Amino acid sequence: MTSTVPALDALSQSLRPARTGKPRPAGGSTLQAVFLDMDGTLVDTEGFWWDVEVEVFASLGHPLDDSWRHVVVGGPMTRSAGFLIEATGADIPLAELTVLLNDGFEDRIADALPLMPGAARLLAELSENGIPTALVSASHRRIIDRVLASLGPQHFALSVAGDEVPRTKPHPDPYLAAAVALGVDPLWCAVVEDTATGVASAEAAGCHVVAVPSVAPIEAAVRRTVVPSLEAVDLTFLHSLMTEMR
């Protein structure tokens, strides 16, 4: 890991901060930062993505098998879209399909963006207590910026999009980039994720993961705590995860 972080140093300089100003320190706690996934974790949009994929492929003359939903959930656009092209045999370039999917998703969230239970309360608590917080998603920048407007950009010191890193989830790059940009050690950072793909990314970066499964179940493991919803996650809970590591 030590050899990986410096390689991302130049990358971290190009990441777009959601607000200006240096993050306040976490008051001597070993919890240095909290990184949050977006779709299915903070916003109830995993179903939106699948609905859009079904609609787009239907327009191309290809129905999607519902079992494929577990394959594409939580993955980067290139992986999920590429899988669906291969599985259906649809005659469409990946780049063109990506635009159609992002356009369809933006249309879906234009009217309403439902937050996951406990999301607003958790973000407010982290912000009020000066915990450096980053939004780390496999979604593209255009989508993250739209969602940030609803979540409140003031709650985040940084946001990292899937199209801004060399390799997105399940690789560790997004979380390593966030840690480098905030000047924190991933070992003392908590990540909240809802899919196996996101969990793999955070664990590969060395973070402690809080899994809140959305579509598919996730098992507990070393440095991985599974909870039923964000209602079970607060600052005291996150601090306790770091205390257990001492």
pLDDT of residue 150: 86
pLDDT, tens digit, for every residue of 17-46? 443 333 444 444 589 999 999 999 999 887
Strand order from edge to edge, sheet including 224-226? 158-160, 133-136, 33-36, 189-193, 208-211, 224-226
Structure tokens belonging to residue 218: 């996730």
pLDDT of residue 11: 53
> Which of 149, 232, 245 has the alpha carbon at shortest distance from 189?
245
Residues whose CB is less than 8 angstroms from the CB of residue 8 and which lie 6 or more positions away in sequence, other chains included: 165, 173, 176, 177, 180
CB 242 within 8 A of CB 30: yes
Q: Is the dihedral of CA 225, 129, 164, 8 positive or negative?
A: negative
pLDDT of residue 199: 96
pLDDT, tens digit, for every residue of 199-220? 999 999 999 999 999 888 999 9
C-alpha separations of 126 from 26, 79, 131, 162, 167 in Å: 10, 32, 5, 24, 28
Q: What are the residue ranges in the chain where pLDDT is below 50?
A: 1-7, 9, 12-28
Task: Give the count of alpha carbons within 13 A of 80, CB side only.
Answer: 28
